[in-house]
Structure 1
């Protein structure tokens, strides 16, 4: 953990740099200093089917879901959340020029008793 999932409406293809957004979000999460490099993942999932608000075809969204393990203070969570949201706003700023775009972020703590992991990346990165 952490995993940052970028869910976005398919009508953003060609209008938003989703790969660039993922790169910038990864840099932002790492810059927080709160997470081990080998644990961080950022991925984007395109929603091909959706219905937004008044169903105008130009309505679009990006929803950020940040799943993290327990162990950080609420203030640390807020700081990293604000940094992530700021980065997303910066990358997607042009979409706010129309009244048809929504951006959201939620941070969720994962219960370690209900989470299983096996990560060979840690061993490689910790050996540096």
Structure 2
């Protein structure tokens, strides 16, 4: 953990590079210093069918959902979230110049007792 899901309206593919957005978010997550690189995942899911606000076909959105493992303070999570959100806003800056774009971001902490995972990448990335 952490896993970031980028949910976005399909019409954004004409306006931004979605992979580059994922890379910018990944970089920001690493730069927080709060997450081990071997656990970071950033995935984008395109919404081919959606109705946004007044159903204007120019309307577009990005919703970021970050799921993190338990054990970090609220202050640390908030600082990391603000850093990641700032990176998203910077990457998407041109879209805010239009009256047709919305960005949202939520971070959820997973219950440690209900969270199973196994990762063979950690040993390689830790140099062990």
Does the alignment reach a TM-score above 0.5?
Answer: yes
Aligned to 1:26: 26
1:116 CA drift (Å): 1.4
Q: How many residues align?
A: 128
Displacement over 4 Å in runs of 4+: none
Aligned to 2:54: 54
TM-score (norm 1): 0.96
For 1:1-128, list aligned pairs within 5 A: 1-128=1-128
1:63 CA drift (Å): 0.2
1:13 partner SS: helix
Give RMSD over aligned pairs: 0.9
1:52 CA drift (Å): 0.7
In structure 2, how many angstroms separate the alpha carbons of the residues matched to 1:28 and 1:91? 11
Stretches of structure 1 that go unaligned for 5 or more consecutive residues are none
In structure 2, how many angstroms separate the alpha carbons of the residues matched to 1:91 and 1:126? 30
TM-score (norm 2): 0.96
Deviations 1:24-80 (A, max 9, x none): 111111111111110011111111111111111011000000000111111111111
